[in-house]
Amino acid sequence: MRTLVIDTATRACSVALCDGDHVIAAAHEIIGRGHAERLLPLISALPDNGKADQVMVNVGPGSFTGIRVGVAAAKALGLAWHIDVYGYGCLALVAAMGRSTLPEATAIDVVMTGGHGEYFFEAFDAHGHSRAPVRSILPDDLMNLATANMVAGDIDPQRADRQWLELLPNARHWPLLSVMHPLAATPIYGRAPDAKPAALSQ
């Protein structure tokens, strides 16, 4: 089965076309912003314009805008191609990428940029299973929560007793998650939105 993988939840923008666990083609760029402008050209550059039997998309947590861009594009392609669309977790992919570089099964903590000075945090055991749902934390909380010897993500914990892997999610590594149960293609923001709805007048 061919799978188009879309990842726009962070400052990276990446796509991959996979046949089972084999990566046919992939692209990964660190762009910061502008995912909406870069995503479709990256997909179009894939073989057969990225045409697949299903779409997998990073549903977060991460950048509010980036997540919405990826999920919207995935659902639009799903409708156009009459195929299923599923999601996968941002921190789960980073954890899997980090564990794949290690010589043996190892517990790993993932710390990613959140917003308003907060971090997204999730701990994974040596088998890649999440120990608790992802949460948005303050920097001071990191010292107490990050207990694994290995930490991956885009935030350096600056602890001499931890090994840190600087990683951003990359769609080409989605096969590392292919055996996991897919998520719904619904954004997981990890914290409350910046904008709050105006109170209705009485």
Q: Do residue 101 and residue 142 come from a single domain?
A: yes
Q: Which domain holds residue 18?
A: 2-89+169-177
Domain contains 85: yes
User: pLDDT tens for residues 80-89?
Assistant: 999 999 999 9
Note the pLDDT of residue 191.
62
Q: Do residue 112 and residue 23 come from a single domain?
A: no
In angstroms, rounded to a whole number, what is the distance separating the alpha carbons of residues 120 and 113? 6
Q: Do residue 128 and residue 158 come from a single domain?
A: yes
Confidence of residue 201 (pLDDT cuts 50, 70, 90): very low
Q: Which residue has the higher pLDDT, 69 or 147?
A: 69
Confidence of residue 92 (pLDDT cuts 50, 70, 90): very high
Total count of domains within the chain: 2
Q: Do residue 13 and residue 111 come from a single domain?
A: no
In angstroms, rounded to a whole number, what is the distance separating the alpha carbons of residues 106 and 37? 38
Confidence of residue 192 (pLDDT cuts 50, 70, 90): low
Note the pLDDT of residue 202.
41
User: pLDDT tens for residues 99-143?
Assistant: 999 888 899 999 999 888 899 999 999 988 999 899 999 988 887
Q: Do residue 116 and residue 84 come from a single domain?
A: no
Model confidence at 160: pLDDT above 80: no
Q: Do residue 149 and residue 77 come from a single domain?
A: no
Domain contains 70: yes
Q: What's the distance, CA 91 to chain centroid? A: 6
Note the pLDDT of residue 200.
46
Q: At what angle do helices 64-81 and 35-44 cross, to 10 degrees?
A: 40
Q: Please, what is the average pLDDT of the chain?
A: 91
Domain contains 201: no
Mean pLDDT value of segment 30-42:
96
